[in-house]
Structure 1
Amino acid sequence: MTDEHHRAALAERAARAGGGVARQHFRSDVDVETKADKNDLVTEADRDAQRQVVSTIRAEFPDDAFVLEEDADTLRGPETGDSDPSVVDAVPDHGPAWVVDPIDGTSNYVRGIRSWATAVTALQDGEPVGSATYVPAAGDLYAAGPESATRDGSELRVSDRTDPETFAVAPVGKWFRDQSAEFGRLNDRITERFGDVRRFGSFQLTLALIADGGLDAGICTNPMDPWDTIAGVHLVRAAGGTVTSLDGDRWHHDDDSLVASNGGAHDELLAAARDAVDRDATE
C-alpha cells in the first residue's frame, strides 16, 4: 500500500471512529455552548469526537500537523498522551497534514436532526490525497482516495443533468443578519434560473450529496473554513464534478467563495451567484 492509499484509508477509519463517538451522544442531553455567536455551537460531543479522530490518526502518524475546528486544548488527556499534536491555524503548503471537523452541522446535531457529519481529510503539500465524510445517523460513508470516490463501497458520480431548470441547488455556508438582503437575492437568482433550492445545515454533507448526484450544485459567497469544505471538495472533484471560486478559477482552500456542481451548468451558476453579490455591492 502506498503512503497516499494508507492515508486515505486512515481518513476513513478516523471519520468512522469520531463519528461513532458523536453518535453515542446524539439525541441525548448534551451541554451546548456558543462560540462566535448564538448559532455557532459546540458540545462536548464535538470535543470527544475530535479527540477520537486525532487519537486514531496519531497512532500511525504521530508527527503530522492538524487543522482542527475545535480548540486544541481539548486534546489534552489520555487519548493523545501528555503532549498536544502539532496543531496549526492554516493549511500548510508543505508536508503532511490532516483537516478535521468532528461534527459538521452541530446546530442540526443539537436539534436532533440527522443532517450532520464527521469529516477528515489527509493532505500532502496542501493537496488532498484522501478524504472521508461519515454521516453516522444515516450510516453512510463518502470517501475519496487517490483514484476513486465511493459511498459505502459503491462508485460516486455527480449527476448527469444539464438543464438548469432541473437542478437542485443548495446555498451553503454561514449567513448573518446583516447579509439577509444578499442571501435573499441569491435565493431569488437560484429560483429564477434553476429547478429548486435545498439547504441542509451541513457544508460537508451538502458537498457529499453533490458528489453522489442527489444535489446538482452548491453556492457559497462568504468566506469559509477549511474543515467545512476540503473533504467535500475532494469528493466532488473525484466524482467528476467542478469546484471553482466566483471568478471561475479552480477553487483553493483560502478562497472566499465556492461554487460546486456536476459541471453541466456551471457558467449559469456562476452568473446567478455573481448577480446576487454584484447587486449587493451597488445598493
Structure 2
Amino acid sequence: MADRDEVAAGSDRAAVAERAARAGARVAYDRFRTGIPVEAKGEDDVVTEADRAAQRTVIDAIRETYPDDAVVGEEEAERKTVPEEGPAWVIDPIDGTHNYVRDIRIWATAVAAVVDGEPVTAANVCPALGDVYTADTDGAYRNGDPITVSDVSDPRRAAVAPTIWWEFDARDEYARACEAIVTRFADMRRFGAAQVVLPTVAAGGLEATITNIRPNPWDTVAGVFMVRQAGGRVTDLDGNRWRHDSTGLVASNGALHDEALAAAREIEDLD
C-alpha cells in the first residue's frame, strides 16, 4: 500500500491537479458555443468531441509528472472505478455537458488526486463562469481566496440543490427530492453540474445538495473534497462518511446536515 505522506507530500499534486484542470478547461472553452456536434451516449446522456479532447489534455498534463498513476475518467477507455490502494486521479473533462451543449455557462473541468481511495487535492475549473475552485490539505479556495461553508442553521433561510440527474424512468424520485427540499427549506436550485454545485456548497452559496442515487466518482470526488476542506459534511443516505462507492450523497454546511439527510432519505421513504 502506498505511503500517504510520501505520495501526498508537498504541493506537487495540488499544482498538477490545477494545471491539468486548467488545460482541459481551455480546450473545452475554445469549443464552447461553436455549434459542436452532439452525440448520444445513452437515453439521457450526451457527449461531444470537446469532452474527449479535454479529457486527453487533462491526462497528458497529469502524466507529464505522474506517468504511472491510474486515471479514472468518464470518457473513452479510462478505468471507471477508483482503486482502493495507491495513487490515482479522478477526472471529468466537462461536468455539465447538457449545459455545455445548450450554451449554458454552468459546467466545469474537474480533477482530483486520490491516495488509497481518499482525495488529497482537487481542482474544478469553470472557465465560462470565471471561477477556479481548488482544495488541498490546508483548505479550500475560489480564485485563490479561502472559502468556507455558510453558517446558516435555520432551514427557512437555506437554499438546497437536488443533484446527479435521475433517469427518465425515475422521475418520480426527482419529484420526491424536489418536494422534500421545498417543504423543508427556503429555496431550491438546480444547476445541472454536480462539480459546480459541490464547490458552491463549499463557498457558502448553497447550504446543501442531495441525491439518493449512487453517483459516478468523476461527478463527485473533487467537489466532495472541497466541501470537507471548507468545513462542511458529506455522508451517504445512512449518515455514514461518504466514499467514492457510496449510495446517495448528502453534502451540507454541517449545521443543516440532519435536515438535508432527512430530505434525501425521503426520496426513497427510508424514515
Give TM class, smaller chain.
over 0.9
Q: How far apart are the structure 2 equivalents of 1:89 and 1:115?
A: 24
Does structure 1 residue 45 correspond to structure 2 residue 36?
A: no
Task: State the shift of 1:217 in Å.
Answer: 0.4
Find the counterpart in structure 2 of residue 108 from structure 1.
99
Task: State the shift of 1:4 in Å.
Answer: 4.9
Find the counterpart in structure 2 of residue 16 from structure 1.
22
TM-score normalized by structure 1?
Answer: 0.91
Per-residue displacement from partner, 1:226-265 (whole Å, max 9, x unpaired)? 0000000000000000000011010011011000000111
Per-residue displacement from partner, 1:92-141 (whole Å, max 9, x unpaired)? 01111001100000010000000000000011111111100100101211
Q: How does 1:48-197 map to 2 (within 5 A)?
A: 48-72=53-77, 87-197=78-188
Unaligned runs of 5+ in 1: 73-86
AA partner of residue 134 (structure 2):
A
Of 224, 249, 253, which aligns to 1:258?
249
Per-residue displacement from partner, 1:49-106 (whole Å, max 9, x unpaired)? 001100111111111100010012xxxxxxxxxxxxxx43310011110011000000
8 Å CA contact retained: 1:67, 1:227: yes
AA partner of residue 182 (structure 2):
T
Task: State the shift of 1:168 in Å.
Answer: 0.5
8 Å CA contact retained: 1:5, 1:146: no
8 Å CA contact retained: 1:4, 1:129: no
User: 1:131 is paired with a residue of what secondary structure?
Assistant: strand
Task: State the shift of 1:182 in Å.
Answer: 2.0
Find the counterpart in structure 1 of residue 193 from structure 2.
202
Q: How far apart are the structure 1 equivalents of 2:116 and 2:10?
A: 12
Task: State the shift of 1:221 in Å.
Answer: 0.7
Q: How far apart are the structure 2 equivalents of 1:3 and 1:268?
A: 37
Find the counterpart in structure 2 of residue 76 from structure 1.
none
Task: State the shift of 1:148 in Å.
Answer: 1.9
Task: State the shift of 1:183 in Å.
Answer: 1.5
Task: State the shift of 1:25 in Å.
Answer: 0.2
8 Å CA contact retained: 2:212, 2:267: no
TM-score normalized by structure 2?
Answer: 0.95
Q: How far apart are the structure 1 equivalents of 2:259 and 2:67?
A: 45
Q: How far apart are the structure 2 equivalents of 1:177 and 1:42?
A: 18
Find the counterpart in structure 1 of residue 264 from structure 2.
273
User: 2:267 is paired with a residue of what secondary structure?
Assistant: helix
User: 1:246 is paired with a residue of what secondary structure?
Assistant: coil
Q: How far apart are the structure 2 equivalents of 1:138 and 1:186?
A: 27
Find the counterpart in structure 2 of residue 243 from structure 1.
234
Find the counterpart in structure 2 of residue 26 from structure 1.
32
Find the counterpart in structure 2 of residue 75 from structure 1.
none
Q: How far apart are the structure 2 equivalents of 1:258 and 1:42?
A: 24
AA partner of residue 20 (structure 1):
R
8 Å CA contact retained: 2:207, 2:256: no
Unaligned runs of 5+ in 2: 1-5
